[in-house]
Amino acid sequence: MTQILVHEVGPRDGLQAEAQVVPTETKLDWLRRLVASGVDIVQVGSFVHPQKVPQMADTDALFLALSQAKRPGDATLSGLVLNEKGLERGLACGVEMYCMGVSASETHSRKNTGMGTDDATRRIIVTALEAVKAGREVQVSVQSAFGCGFEGAIPEERVMGIVTAYFEAGLTAVSLADTAGHAHPAQVARYVGHILTMNPTARVTAHIHNTYGVGMANVYAALEAGATSIEASFGGLGGCPFTKVAAGNVATEDFVHALQRNGHRPDIKLDALIGVARDVASFFVRDLPGCVYKIGPIAPSA
């Protein structure tokens, strides 16, 4: 494994399914600490209709506040967009990296975007190319890549067909999202390897949910197969509100703790990540799925 990028998605994927809306100032406090923690990318929010996902109603304001106060070395600010309107909003408020994707599950795609997979793929590619034209970094994803709570197994060729469409459009930063948490390590390794065989210059990200308790195993399977970036959420919070079973992500602080135990990414301030996870748990008045924020990290060897 070479340099491993850490993409913190808690402010978006972690919060989107929560009924209790977090005040903007509270979010900004968490975000500022995450942005300065040494992680590479922080996903500030998503540009969706506030009636569908009320927790994301202040995404534009958050980006404006953070982009105006950025310092050298701060994390890249990413945002999730689903369509052209989201791109327009993002361009107006300081999004640096656009994350957009398509579900390989027809059912999940329609619940999430109101479109089938084929129509969504065409639309997302057009939107992604507009972002590239505007000089922004773009990552495209395949959601429900490893299975779907509604449909069960998703054919591998369907997933790779979407990836092929991305590559043909010149989009080579690809995320495989385990939206339903159905992935297992051998499958993750095979899919990542398949993509890198198709395009050895591709940058592969893994977005892993821990629905069935194999999240960290899947993360390491992705890394060992050649993925270079992992998306994780503070405290392991999160889950797609439009999938059948919304369950948490791999916890960012757990993942960073594991990396640092192996000598990777000592530059990331683990205590900062733990502090945010503890504050998020305190805000929601419940334990989050993560481990390290509750029991503390293992001290580095002398």
Q: Which residues are catalytic?
A: 240
Is residue 42 within 8 A of residue 75, CB to CB? The reply is: yes
Residue type, position 25, single letter: E
Q: What is the C-alpha to C-alpha distance for residues 60 and 47, in angstroms, rounded to an integer?
A: 8
CA quadruple 72, 73, 77, 78: dihedral sign: positive
Q: Nearest to residue 33, comparing CAs of 253, 210, 229, 247?
A: 253
Q: How many CA atoms lie within 13 A of 90 on its CB side?
A: 33
Beta bridge partners, 173, equal 203
> Residue 181 phi/psi, 5° resolution?
75, 25
| Residue in this structure with the two tokens 């590239």, named with its chain if needed | 132
Q: What is the C-alpha to C-alpha distance for residues 118 and 97, in angstroms, rounded to an integer?
A: 24
Q: What is the C-alpha to C-alpha distance for residues 237 and 65, in angstroms, rounded to an integer?
A: 24
Angle, helices 270-284/252-261, rounded to nearest 10 degrees: 160
Beta bridge partners, 209, equal 249
